[in-house]
Amino acid sequence: MNVSISKQDPARIDPGDFRHRNLPLLLLHARESVIACFRPVLNEHGLTEQQWRIVRALVEKGPLEPRQIGEFCRISSPSLAGVLARMDDLGLVRRERLARDQRRVRVSLTPKARALAARLAPQIEAIYRAIEDHIGREFIERFYATLDELIGMLGELQPVARGAD
């Protein structure tokens, strides 16, 4: 039996059917290029990228509830539970129930984590300076502004309904 696939076949896809570049993939490549600069320092200190995001968030924002950490650090709730448990085991965070609502928990850094962040800060800042020296201060400033603008504008965008043309 000879089967021919017509242009109208919904299972047929051609790369030319996509008019736009793959923005999510480009952003992932950019993220990987950036984090690759920081990964050796984090590994040297026994921290994962997620753990460092949490440490840095708690340094900058102070104690937070897990939901707030997840939103700020872009970590899913199931992943966050495991990361926080490991950080607790390592003595990096302290979790305390809120007096006004025992169902809620506030996460804060331990003195050990604060000391680690203080040791890491000069190394992290040196990496930022190296990146800035390599690609230029003006580019970095424009890129930060563009990312902030993109995040803001896409935050306002209503999701497109599935099946919409």
In 134-157, which positions are buried (b, 16+ CB within 10 angstroms) versus exposed (e)? eeeeeeeeeeeeeeeeeeeeeeee
Question: Mind listing the domains of the chain with CATH numbers?
Answer: 22-155 (1.10.10.10)
Asked if 94 and 107 touch (Cβ cutoff 8 Å), the reply is yes
Residues with Cβ within 8 Å of 106's Cβ and at least 6 positions away in sequence, in order, are 63, 64, 65, 95, 96, 97, 98
The pLDDT confidence band at residue 12, using thresholds 50, 70 and 90, is confident
pLDDT at 101: 83
Considering only CA atoms, which of 65, 63, 41, 64 is closest in space to residue 117?
41
Q: What is the pLDDT of residues 96-135, one digit of tens each?
A: 998 888 888 999 999 999 999 999 999 999 999 999 999 9
Q: What is the mean pLDDT of residues 42-67?
A: 97
Q: pTM of the entire structure?
A: 0.82
Is the pLDDT confidence value at 14 over 90?
Answer: no
